[in-house]
């Protein structure tokens, strides 16, 4: 939680009308972040929207060159193109930008921060700090304590990512498509995904490159190496969009330099910040997206010896992608500042 002896901050939220923007505002309130003034920003299309915050009503303004004058912290969640345009403007105005898009994550001059893993990296910022990809955040929160204990050298990710990671329209698409199928109709063509998502799985998150890797897969590969400071880490990854409204699941296989038992892994994770272990599968206790929705922790369960790789651990990791995967992580970075 923030040190309330710190001076209150003038905060701007760019993308305030989106799913993550609204979650950022909720987290700022819930964690009593010391806000002296709040400025809510969005595109021209969303300008004029009324949003409640801290007991007051605020009108969303269209972002422009003067939006960040006098702002201390600017929380961005408006897409990479918008961030590339406005983050340098905000930083030049004296604000520190915490950006939730992919625009700056692989830039070597911009720190990519998960507070439970690499809080010291915020000192390297030149006015912009990148918030990692939602699926990467929950993975490294679970992996890093094990890496410190045993030396991570290989990880395989298979993700089960909810539609809320794509925004409001994706939620509506899943709901309407599910109703249509249950009514015996063919689901309408999706404007969000290449195929209807209701009752289906799409191993397609972002564009594919010439080698068949998706953009989301490269995000997890590159970002996990950068955040944990393991540039030589070997990573395998398949990312899948699933018909779940909120919270991402990940099946993870991790191999270490030093042998580690499942019980040792459980004990390490139980003592790790931001992690909650739910690992009694015989009693049907394990992480679930519905349970994680609206909650802060990264939930870890199904911790077991991997059946195919010597010295490896398998586990199942779930977290709310709008909370720890986006808004909460951004506000925790602001608290560090």
Stated pTM of the model: 0.95
Residue 251 lies in a domain: yes
Handedness of CA 58, 61, 63, 64 (dihedral sign): negative
One domain for residues 308 and 207: yes
How many CB atoms within 10 Å of residue 189? Answer: 11
- H/E stretch holding 154: strand 152-161
One domain for residues 113 and 184: no
**Separation of alpha carbons 14 and 21, rounded Å:** 7
One domain for residues 267 and 307: yes
Q: What is the CATH number of the domain that holds 74?
A: 3.40.50.720
Residue 4 lies in a domain: no
Q: What is the CA radius of gyration of the chain?
A: 20
Beta bridge partners of 53: 56
Give the residue ranges of DSSP H helices in the chain: 19-30, 80-92, 134-150, 168-182, 215-228, 262-270, 289-292, 328-336
One domain for residues 142 and 82: no
Please list the pLDDT of the chain residue by residue as tens digits (337 residues). 445 456 899 999 999 999 999 999 999 999 999 999 999 999 999 999 999 999 999 999 999 999 999 999 999 999 999 999 999 999 999 999 999 999 999 999 999 999 999 999 999 999 999 999 999 999 999 999 999 999 999 999 999 999 999 999 999 999 999 999 999 999 888 789 999 999 999 999 999 999 999 999 999 999 999 999 999 999 999 999 999 999 999 999 999 999 999 999 999 999 999 999 999 999 999 999 999 999 999 999 999 999 999 989 999 999 999 999 999 999 999 999 9
From 66, 134, 147, 195, the catalytic residue: 134
Res 97: pLDDT = 98
Residue 305 lies in a domain: yes
One domain for residues 215 and 313: yes
One domain for residues 311 and 332: no
Q: Among this protein's residues, is 248 annotated catalytic?
A: yes
Q: What is the CATH number of the domain that holds 256?
A: 3.30.360.10
What is the domain range of residue 36?
Answer: 9-132+327-336
From 147, 204, 237, 248, the catalytic residue: 248
One domain for residues 172 and 238: yes
Residue 2 lies in a domain: no
Res 1: pLDDT = 45
Domain count, the chain: 2
Instruction: Name the DSSP class of 47.
Output: T
Contact residues for 314 (Cβ-Cβ < 8 A; gap 6+): 251, 252, 253, 254, 302, 303, 304, 305, 306, 307
Residue 21 lies in a domain: yes
Please, is 258 exposed, middle or buried when counting C-beta atoms within 10 Å of its C-beta (0-12, 13-18, 19+)?
A: exposed
Residue 172 lies in a domain: yes
One domain for residues 196 and 232: yes
Beta bridge partners of 13: 40, 75
Please, is 181 exposed, middle or buried when counting C-beta atoms within 10 Å of its C-beta (0-12, 13-18, 19+)?
A: middle
One domain for residues 222 and 185: yes
Cβ-contact 326, 101 below 8 angstroms? no
Residue 3 lies in a domain: no
Residue 1 lies in a domain: no
One domain for residues 177 and 315: yes
One domain for residues 35 and 100: yes
How many CB atoms within 10 Å of residue 169? Answer: 12
One domain for residues 96 and 174: no
As given in the structure block, the two tokens for residue 45 are 């299309």
Q: Among this protein's residues, is 204 annotated catalytic?
A: no
């Amino acid at each position: 939680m923030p040190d309330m002896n710190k001076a209150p901050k003038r905060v701007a939220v760019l993308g305030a009308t989106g799913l993550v923007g609204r979650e950022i505002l909720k987290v700022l309130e819930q964690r009593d972040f010391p806000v002296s003034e709040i400025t809510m920003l969005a595109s021209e299309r969303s300008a004029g929207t009324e949003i409640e915050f801290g007991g007051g009503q605020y009108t969303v303004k269209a972002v422009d060159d003067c939006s960040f004058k006098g702002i201390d912290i600017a929380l961005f969640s408006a897409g990479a193109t918008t961030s590339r345009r406005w983050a340098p403007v905000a930083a030049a105005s004296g604000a520190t930008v915490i950006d939730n898009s992919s625009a700056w994550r692989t830039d070597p001059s911009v720190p990519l921060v998960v507070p439970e893993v690499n809080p010291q990296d915020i000192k390297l910022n030149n006015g912009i700090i990148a918030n990692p990809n939602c699926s990467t955040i929950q993975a490294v929160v679970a992996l890093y304590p094990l890496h410190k204990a045993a030396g991570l050298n290989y990880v395989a990710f298979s993700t089960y990512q909810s539609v809320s990671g794509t925004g409001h329209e994706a939620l509506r698409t899943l709901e309407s498509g599910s109703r249509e199928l249950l009514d015996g109709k063919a689901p309408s063509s999706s404007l969000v995904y290449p195929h209807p998502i209701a009752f289906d799985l799409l191993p397609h998150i972002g564009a594919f490159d010439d080698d068949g890797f998706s953009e989301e897969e490269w995000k997890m590969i590159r970002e996990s190496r950068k955040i944990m400071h393991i540039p030589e880490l070997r990573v395998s990854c398949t990312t899948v969009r699933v018909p779940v409204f909120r919270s991402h699941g990940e099946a993870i296989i991790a191999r270490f330099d030093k042998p580690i038992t499942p019980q040792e892994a459980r004990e390490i994770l139980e003592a790790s910040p931001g992690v909650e272990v739910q690992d009694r599968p015989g009693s049907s206790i394990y992480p679930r997206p519905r349970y994680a929705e609206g909650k802060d922790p990264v939930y870890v369960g199904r911790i077991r010896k991997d059946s195919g790789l010597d010295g490896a651990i398998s586990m199942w990791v779930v977290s709310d992608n709008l909370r720890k995967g986006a808004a909460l992580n951004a506000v925790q970075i602001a608290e560090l500042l």
